[in-house]
Amino acid sequence: MNKFITFSILFIAFGYNQVFYAQDIPNPEEIAAVDDAFENNFYDALTQKAIENYDRAIVSLQKCLDKDANNPVIYNELGKNYFALKQYAEAQNAFQKAVDLNPKERWYWNGLYDVFYETKDYNNAIRIVTKLIEFNKDFQDDLVSLYMYTNQKDKALALLKDMEQTTNLSQTMEYYKLQLERTPEVNKPEKQDLEKAIKKNPLVEQNYIDLIYQYSESNNEEKAFEVAKKLAENIPNSDWAHVSLVKFYLNNNDGENASNSMFKVLESSKIDNKIKHRVFNEFLIFASNNPDFSSNLEKGITLLDEDRSVNVSKEVAKYFLKKNRLDESIFYFEKSIANQPEDFESFEFLMQLLMQKKQYEKVDKYANQQLELYPTQASLYYYSGVALLNLNKTKEAISKLEEGVDYVVENPTLEKEFYTQLANSYEKTGDLKKKEMYLSKIQNVK
């Protein structure tokens, strides 16, 4: 079989289950599947979205609406695809329709929030995030940030004080609170006052942080950089100085100093993880264009690996995949599954890339490693079988494929692929009778 076709079929065969769960879509039983056409169009839409063919996904979803015009899941998926295409008005309408049909589903509100945030419609974003707080109190942090963006500092401070009564504030929220207590509304010092205070007592870290913030806010990056350097000189153990210094060094194409400052930030116990990830993402863009610093990128990933809420290696792998830099993508997907072997989505991406690159030894190796965790996962037998067949280990391939096909459940595309590869395998051995048997099985798959 043509390997490019095999790669495409693999994506379709296995991709939509991963996308289905990754996007928190309800279980298939919750979807009113009117007929096979509806189901095929829906899964085709998920598959097209997964490979970033958003226009084609929208066409398939519109066909679903012809069958079921009041299905909120379809409108939610439409919203995601319009959002990916930056067609924000259409995305807003689709998400709003999903919310109207099912206001109890958090993810539909989340879609609206994404649209308003991306378009900087912060007032509407505030309205939506207030609703999201009913589902998850963690959105209070977002509401504080939105109040800051819209200069509603009194509301931000009031909310922070309320949050303080029931939970520990994150580093970012603590920082906002300190900022707010020094704003004009609550006695914010002027730049000249901060400069005098620094001269008088150069060991008060907060004065530097406030001054850096004010200069950055007024787009005076040069002065902000000077203050950050002065902070690093006068208080060498200050972690906050390096948050600003990373960006300045990157803007000046100074990779060595940027790397050192990034490491200081990532190693700090005082700085919130969200800020660490932002700093790392800025360095990732720089390192992707400056391969000499790729080892520093790897060290940065190692420092962030303790935060299990984000699989950093996986996100870096996806970043390089979007740039069609497949070797680098493979490298970081390999790191991802080494750190989190239970992340099956990373594994699927890795298998598809390795098949595309014809690295069949690795395909077989990783498939068998995963079989130790998931011994009834049919796709793993398929990957191993196809790899063995391409390595001219035909008898082993037949054994693996015949064992794996018994685990296929309600996946006709995958079942047909098994029979196709088995037919190819028996053709190689010269057993034409069994080849014809498996070809006939293909015709009987419903």
DSSP-assigned states of every residue in 296-347: HHHHHHHHHTT-TTS-HHHHHHHHHHHTT-HHHHHHHHHHHHHH-TT-HHHH
Task: Find the DSSP H helices in 85-220.
Answer: 88-101, 106-118, 122-135, 140-149, 153-166, 171-180, 191-200, 205-217
Tally of CB atoms within 10 A around 60: 22
Residues 393-416: what's their mean pLDDT? 92
Among 65-74, 298-307, 320-329, name the one with the lowest average pLDDT.
298-307
Are the C-beta atoms of 101 and 75 separated by less than 8 Å?
yes
pTM of the model: 0.50
Cα 17 versus chain centre, distance: 17
Residue 324 confidence (pLDDT) above 60: yes
Distance between CA atoms of residues 78 and 108, nearest Å: 11
Confidence tier at 22 by pLDDT (50, 70, 90): very low
Predicted local distance difference test score (pLDDT) of residue 32: 43
Instruction: Give SS3 for 196.
Output: helix
Residue with tokens 């207030």: 130
Residue 19 confidence (pLDDT) above 70: no
Distance between CA atoms of residues 147 and 183, nearest Å: 14
pLDDT digits (tens, 9 = 90+) for 58-89: 998 988 888 888 889 989 999 999 999 888 88
Residues 38-43: what's their mean pLDDT? 82
Residue 8 confidence (pLDDT) above 50: no
Q: With pLDDT > 70 as the criterion, what percentage of the chain qualifies?
A: 89
Torsion, CA 384, CA 353, CA 307, CA 253, rounded to 10? 150
Distance between CA atoms of residues 347 and 334, nearest Å: 8
Tally of CB atoms within 10 A around 104: 8
Residue 27 confidence (pLDDT) above 80: no
Predicted local distance difference test score (pLDDT) of residue 425: 93
pLDDT digits (tens, 9 = 90+) for 157-176: 888 888 877 888 888 888 87
278 vs 2, higher pLDDT: 278
Predicted local distance difference test score (pLDDT) of residue 350: 94
What does pLDDT average to over the chain?
A: 83
Residues 402-411: what's their mean pLDDT? 91
